[in-house]
Structure 1
Amino acid sequence: MYKFPYYTEQDEQKVIAFMKENAFALVTGIGEQYPVATQIPLAIEIKDGKIFLSGHLMRKTDHHLTFEKNNKVMVLFTGAHCFVSASWYTNPGVGSTWNYLTVQAKGTITFTDEQGTIDAVKAVSDKYEGTTSAGAFDNLSKEYIDHMVKAIVGFTIEVESMENTFKLSQNRDTDSQKNIIEQLKKRGDYNSAAIAVEMEKRL
């Protein structure tokens, strides 16, 4: 991970909030020949000061089989990112760059029993679908749920270490940062606007 102290967010609550906002995360592990990975929506909970990630995946896929053999995984949370031109700096005689926000969480994955799988699906469904929608988890038939849990398996990841890079031109002078924000806002795309907002928070 690209690490400098001025790119590291020290407030863990802000890091966790970022993870919750960007919870469609990439879970990776070490396969026999190549790394394996799958992108999954996760529920994030804090229990007794520890961070737990939960979700579900298809049974007997390459990543499921790999995670069963080697339960050490890394989860990558990514947010907005964009190109930043050196022409926007007060001193443009350096290379252009890329601003972005990302978190790497490393931990141990544990697969659940059938009830745990149902709970994992319900947690994600309740978060995004809600509990009063026609598509709410509690409106699913028992027959559908019984069929579904045969094809998927729930899991929990206990986070053991976590790193982040919130690269937002913190190494540039204030005038350069203000101009970067202005130029990003002019672009009009989502990523540039989101990075501009994050930069403004830190001025």
Structure 2
Amino acid sequence: MYKAPYFEEKDAAKVLAFMQAHSFITLIGYDGVYPVATQIPVHVYQDEKGTRLVGHIMKKTDHYQAYAKNDNVLALFAGAHVYVSASVYENPAVASTWNYSSVQAKGKIRLMNNDETREVIKHLTNSYEDPAKSPAAFHKMDDAYIEKNLKAISGFEIQVEEINSVFKLSQNHSAVNQAQIIEHLIESNDQNAIVVAQQMKANC
């Protein structure tokens, strides 16, 4: 991870909020030969137990086998990103760059048993479906159907041991450059550019 000190977010609450807002992560492990990865939604918790990531994965996959062998994992949280052209700088005859936000969380993964996995699926489903109104709510599913599908998946919990963040928002540039970058990005039709501009504005 590119960890220039002026790009690192020191406010732990902002980092946690970013993780919760970008919780469709890339989860990376190692099977002894190659790195393995999968994209997966998680719930991000912080309490007296520390920071935890909870989700589920299919069992018949390379990443499940890797996590079963080696419990060291890396979770990558990625936010909006955009190309920043040096043409808008006070001195444009320099290198252009890329602005982005990213958090990496390292920790130990624990694969769950059937009962724990059922609770993970129930919580995930009811987080996105209205339990009182949705025909796809967890309690509307046939129990035999749930049990059949639970055999193919495993819930997991990651106890986070280390968090690193990079919120690269042109903090190393002059106030004039930052203002001109924001103005340029706001005028774009690219939603990523607009989000980065808003982040830069909030950071000024």
Range of TM-score over shorter length: over 0.9
AA aligned to 2:102 is T
Q: Any unmatched runs of 5+ in structure 2? A: none
What's 2:168 paired with? 167
What's 1:107 paired with? 107
AA aligned to 2:92 is P
Kept after mapping to 2: 8 A contact 1:43/1:123? no
Percent sequence identity over matched residues? Answer: 44
Describe how 1:67-106 pairs up with structure 2 within 5 A: 67-106=67-106
Deviation at 1:122, TM superposition (A): 1.9
AA aligned to 2:162 is S
How many residue pairs match? The answer is: 203
Asked if 1:124 is matched to 2:133, the reply is no
Q: What secondary structure is seen at the aligned counterpart in 2 of 1:108?
A: strand
Q: Distance in 1 between matches of 2:103 and 2:186?
A: 25
Kept after mapping to 1: 8 A contact 2:107/2:161? yes
Deviation at 1:33, TM superposition (A): 2.1
Q: Distance in 2 between matches of 1:35 and 1:62?
A: 10
Q: Distance in 2 between matches of 1:159 and 1:34?
A: 22
What's 1:193 paired with? 194
Q: Distance in 1 between matches of 2:50 and 2:104?
A: 15
Deviation at 1:131, TM superposition (A): 2.6
Kept after mapping to 2: 8 A contact 1:80/1:101? yes
Q: What secondary structure is seen at the aligned counterpart in 2 of 1:191?
A: helix
Provide the TM-score with structure 2 as the length reference: 0.96
Q: Distance in 2 between matches of 1:24 and 1:74?
A: 13
What's 2:34 paired with? 34
Deviation at 1:189, TM superposition (A): 1.2
What's 2:135 paired with? 134
Q: Distance in 2 between matches of 1:113 and 1:49?
A: 20
Provide the TM-score with structure 1 as the length reference: 0.96
Q: How much is the aligned-residue C-alpha RMSD, in angstroms?
A: 1.1
Q: What secondary structure is seen at the aligned counterpart in 2 of 1:81?
A: strand
AA aligned to 2:144 is E
Describe how 1:168-183 pairs up with structure 2 within 5 A: 168-183=169-184
Q: Deviations over 1:15-45 (max 9, x none)?
A: 1111111101001011232100011000111
Q: Distance in 2 between matches of 1:109 and 1:97?
A: 35
Q: Deviations over 1:81-132 (max 9, x none)?
A: 0000011111222200000000000000001111110111122222222333
Q: Distance in 1 between matches of 2:56 and 2:67?
A: 12
Q: What secondary structure is seen at the aligned counterpart in 2 of 1:187?
A: coil
